[in-house]
Structure 1
Amino acid sequence: MTSSVDSAAIPPVNQSIEQPVAKICGEPLMEIPQDLYIPPDALEVFLDSFQGPLDLLLYLIRKHNLDILDIPMVQLTQQYMAYVDMMEVEQFELAAEYLLMTALLIEIKSRMLLPVPVTENEEEKDPRAELVQRLLKYEQIKLAALRLNELPQADRDFSTVQVWMEQSTHDRLPNVSVDMLRQTWLGLLARAKINRHHQINREALSVRVYMSQVLRNLHQCGQIVFHELFSPAATVTEVIVTFLAILELAKEMLVEISQPEVLGVIYVRSVDAV
């Protein structure tokens, strides 16, 4: 299939524009520096990279469709040695690993060529069995690593977003339970019994009057300790009426009862002063 292109539609290329030979940190480099040193191995290109001798063996087995449970050692050894010779590795530590595997393959190959006497109590063991087990375990780990690499990863497949939210914190004071009020009430009763009079007089006490008195005290001081609302010289009847007045004020949400610390002092303050 051929196609014709109108030469008039293509703008002429300006041959006089000099193109940069490279870019360093985004800056164009128009000519190669005279003192530039390039190491001999800097331009080497590896078409296939392997993580070790087992990776190379597994690559050769899968590439030539060999049965990993029945490896033809002659063919595999020849291919492995040819590939190692082609690599021309200059790093001795890396080359030693591949050469050690080469020696192992040659040993297995020789053991398969030589007849092995079989005794009555011992069964013939395949020389390739240990190598096959290593290859199968390595393949399982490699496949598992590939599956893990396919999972979404932060900063590779998606980016994490952080949002700053200004939020003011408020101190939450402990709630005053009924048991705490009862204990305080019992303490007030015990103190009132000291001032108990044996003379019985009928006292007309109004809860509303004591409510107004408590509110006046709170408006003057803002916040008062709970037991300070009760006069030390108050009788039992006056203590009861004062206590009912405080509860009625709290019920009508005119005062607030709080306790900053657990088992601490109980405070009463007017809602208007909050």
Structure 2
Amino acid sequence: MSAQQDALLAHLPADAPELALAGQPDTTPDVVDGMAYAKLYGEPLFKLPTDLYIPPDALEVFLEAFQGPLDLLLYLIRKQNFNILDIPMAQVTRQYLDYVDQIRVRNLELAAEYLLMAAMLIEIKSRMLLPVKKADTGEEAEDPRAELVRRLLEYEQMKVAAQELDALPQLGRDYVRAQIYIEQNVVTRWPEVSMSELQAVWADILKRAKLTAHHTISREELSVREHMTGILRRLQSARFVEFADLFDPSRGVPVVIVNFIALLELAKETLIEITQAEAFAPIYVRLAYSPT
């Protein structure tokens, strides 16, 4: 379908049928099965209008496929397999100016940037027509195309890098971030504890409790007079009592000491006698002998 037909269909609703090709007779019926074949602004259309006006600009298609003058130059060079280090300036400049002439007619603001590059190409072409002069140092002068080649190579590197970056997966374009909903009211599951672990912990607690326990000394009141009376009562029922039998170690050291003091008091008051048959023989205690 030609551009003229596209422009014609643009003035009709989306449900209108395709028009006849340009230069061919219109075979579209005025009425299809007794019904209109199109609607224009809600009204049925039974026949194509004869006074349909199509602006000249509607039949022209312009694609701005280049990102700037360097992009256009690089396209012209790569399309024709030119050596970028040895650019044929005449051919490239001619093709470049043809493109600039097309965009200058329709978009002067867009053509301004391209015109600047066109002036640079014409300058390079003019400098190449002049005789080559050597520099003051005796070396050959730099190629007028050197600066343009450097800019083209840098632009090509940046363009390739941009294409590689664009090929990487991008969020929202190539993939979406997965999102899940986590229920907050989750029952906490505590780890299970075995009986052996509880026993080990309890034994450790008891061990630390013993190490930090305080020794409390309680005060106990003991009467020497009561122990003296108890010794005299015991000696009255026996004639001789061995010295060691008068003490009860199970009652504790304090009681044994008080009992020994009571025994010494009774001996001091001559109420008892402490006797021994011979050296290293057992010691006996008895009541003191008093003559009648």
TM-score normalised per structure 2: 0.46
TM-score normalised per structure 1: 0.48
Higher relative contact order (CA 8 A, sep 6+): 1
Larger Rg: 2
